[in-house]
Amino acid sequence: SLMGRGARVREQGSDSIVDTRREAQPPYLYPDYVSTRLRAPKKPLIILPRTLSDTTGPAFGRGPVGELDNDLTHQHEGEPLGERIIVTGRVLDGDGRPVRNSLIEIWQANSAGRYIHKNDQHPAPLDPNFSGAGRCLTDDEGRYRFVTIKPGAYPWKNHTNAWRPAHIHLSLFGEAFRSRLITQMYFPGDPLFEHDPIFRSVRDPQARRRMISTFDLETTRPEWALGYRFDIVLEGRNATPMENHR
C-alpha cells in the first residue's frame, strides 16, 4: 500500500484528529478543491490484480531522452528570465532502495507564474526562452537533477482571490508503466500554503512536509544558482503524496 501503516495524530493548530493511514494521500473528493467535485469517482473502485507485465515492463531506454532535456534554461536561443535553480534528489522504493533508470518528467509555470497553454490567459507575460518542461532518467543511485527557473505563484478560479503556491509538477515511472505517479514539489516557507486547498487536501502534517523541498547549500552553485533537494518515495509509510494514488 502506498499509504502503509499509519497512526492517529493531532493536526497543528486544530482540535481534529488526523488518521495518517487515510490522510497521507489526497482524497479523490476534497470539496474545497472545486474541480474534484466533478471528477471524483461516484462508484467504488475496482482493484485489478497485478500481472507479470505490470511489474516488469515496459522498460524506458535512454534513446528518447536528450542530454539537455533536464536543463530547462538551455532549450532556446536565449536564457529565460527569473531565478535560476537546481532541483535534485533521489527516487526510492518503499524499502529505501534506489529506483534506477526511471523516467522523470517535470512541467511548471515560468517566473511570472504563467504556463504556455491556451487556457492560461491571466495577465502575466510569457517568456519566449522558457517552455516549462523537461525530463531525465535516474542514475544507479536513483538520483535525478534538473536546472530550471523558480516558478511564480499564479491565480486560479477555485475560489475568491485564489492563488497557487509556487510549485513544480513531477511525473514518475517506477519499474513499469502501471507505477506512474504524479506529485507536486513546493518551496519552503511559502505563505500561500495555508490558503491552498490542493496542498491542504493532504491532511497529515508529516505527509505535507514531504511535498516541500529543502534548500541545499551543497547543491547550490556559487554566483549561479540556488539548490533544492526533493527526495521521492514511491510507496510505503513514508511515501510522497501523489495526485493519482490513494
Given the residues 33, 154, 186, 228, the one annotated as active site: 154
> Is residue 167 annotated as part of the catalytic site, yes or no?
yes
Given the residues 21, 135, 169, 229, the one annotated as active site: 169
What is residue 47's three-state secondary structure? coil
Indicate the Cα dihedral angle 69, 60, 145, 91, nearest 10°: 160
Given the residues 164, 203, 210, 245, the one annotated as active site: 164
What is residue 166's three-state secondary structure? coil
> Is residue 169 annotated as part of the catalytic site, yes or no?
yes
- Pull the grid cell for residue 163: 492563488
> Is residue 117 annotated as part of the catalytic site, yes or no?
no
Given the residues 90, 114, 167, 208, the one annotated as active site: 167
> Is residue 154 annotated as part of the catalytic site, yes or no?
yes
Cβ neighbors of 143 (< 8 A, separation 6 or more) are 88, 89, 90, 98
DSSP 36: H
> Is residue 122 annotated as part of the catalytic site, yes or no?
no
CA distance 173 to 130: 25
Strand 8-10 versus strand 17-19 pairing type: antiparallel
Given the residues 115, 144, 186, 228, the one annotated as active site: 115
Q: Which residues are catalytic?
A: 115, 154, 164, 167, 169
